[in-house]
Amino acid sequence: MKLLQDSLLELIRRTSTEIPDDVHKAIVDSLEQEKKGTIAESAMKIIDQNIALAKNKSQPICQDTGSIIFYVDCPLNFDQMAFEEAARQAVKLATSKGFLRQNSVDSISGKNDGTNVGPGSPTIHFHQHRSQETTVRLVLKGGGCENVGAQYSLPSEKLQANRDLDGCRKVILDAVLQAQGKGCGPGILGVCIGGDRATGYEFSKQQLLRKLDDKNEREDLDGLERDIVSTANQLGIGPMGFGGKTTLLGTKIGVLNRLPASYFVSVSYMCWAYRRQGVTLQQDGAIQNWLY
């Protein structure tokens, strides 16, 4: 139990303070692409400095350490309740050490008890599998980018979006347009086509577990992912919405079945401060290896 708690604390620390390699590479690439002497380039330079500074000082990349979302893949007979307790203790500890901001408040009274533990915080998704391995992935998703997430119900007359992939493309690009400036771009989109209002958003967030340089198994969606990124980067929105070349660093799209009556496209926007990390755990709870 203590080992597991220590492992989760280390997972939280590293997620909050270090950007994954795939994201860092995309950020460095976009810094090189921005025109020299522009405010877009200045913004990307500050972002790059910030990533180095956060890692060296072991302090949060962004002060909004976000919603704490664990994804656990576990074997049969895994003690989920023990895991939940260890996760809550690790979150409290990480908060007291300043890896997490006191970031969870009672929705009605606004009271902040300073622990980050309460109804819905942390959120833990368990998924059982046949393998003996336990993997824990963590996403810390800040409020600024969460607030610009969007869910569209197709058809949309306003956007002239029908129930087909072209309609999906139109609404996803609308989400990029509307998010400009507010979501701390350059951003990354997790998208779910289908599902219901709850599962659609949930699955769109799960897309953010994919590495930026992976390839969608479905050819049509792979094409759409690339098209969204390349089109968004021609709009001139740029880092922070200052104008510039890099608006998106990536787009990941998943599909769920839907009811004949429904056609939702759910978009989760992730900021450049893309805090995602994961570990494989040994039987005793110690960290075996890092996933990103």
Partner 1 sequence: MIQLNTPVAEDAIRALKVGDEAEISGTLFTGRDAVHKYLHEGGKLPPGVNFQGGILYHCGPVVIKDEHQNWKCVAAGPTTSIREEPYQWQVIRDFGLRGVIGKGGMGDKTLAACKQYGCAYLHAIGGAAQVLAECIKRVPNVYMMEQFGAPEAIWEFEVVRFPVVVTMDAHGNSLHKEVFAASQAELAKHL
Q: Which is nearer to partner 1, 177 or 286 (CB)?
A: 177
Which of 31, 78, 92, 102 forms a contact with partner 1 (CB under 8 A)?
Answer: 102
Distance CA 269, CA 261 (A): 26
Contact range with partner 1 by CB under 8 A, out of 207-215, 217-225, 269-277, 282-290: 269-277
Q: Is 235 in the site for partner 1 (CB under 8 A)?
A: yes
Q: Does 28 bind partner 1 (CB under 8 A)?
A: no
Does 98 help bind partner 1 (rule: CB under 8 A)? yes
Q: With binding defined as CB under 8 A, does residue 155 bind partner 1? A: no
Sign of torsion over alpha carbons 25, 29, 268, 264: negative
Any contact of residue 212 with partner 1 (CB under 8 A)? no
151 binds partner 1 (CB under 8 A): no
Interaction of residue 142 with partner 1, rule CB under 8 A: yes
For residues 67 and 202, what is the distance between their CA atoms, to the nearest angstrom?
Answer: 13
Cα 55 to its chain centre, rounded Å, is 19
Q: Does 241 bind partner 1 (CB under 8 A)?
A: yes
Minimum Å gap between C-beta 98 and partner 1 is 5
Answer for which of 243, 258, 280, 282 binds partner 1 (CB under 8 A) is 243
If binding is defined by CB under 8 A, does position 263 make contact with partner 1?
A: no
Residue 289 interacting with partner 1 (CB under 8 A): no
If binding is defined by CB under 8 A, does position 271 make contact with partner 1? yes
Report the interface residues with partner 1, using CB under 8 A.
39, 42-43, 46-47, 49-50, 53-54, 57, 59-65, 98, 101-103, 105, 110-112, 114, 142-144, 147, 160, 170, 173, 177, 180-184, 231, 234-238, 240-243, 271-273
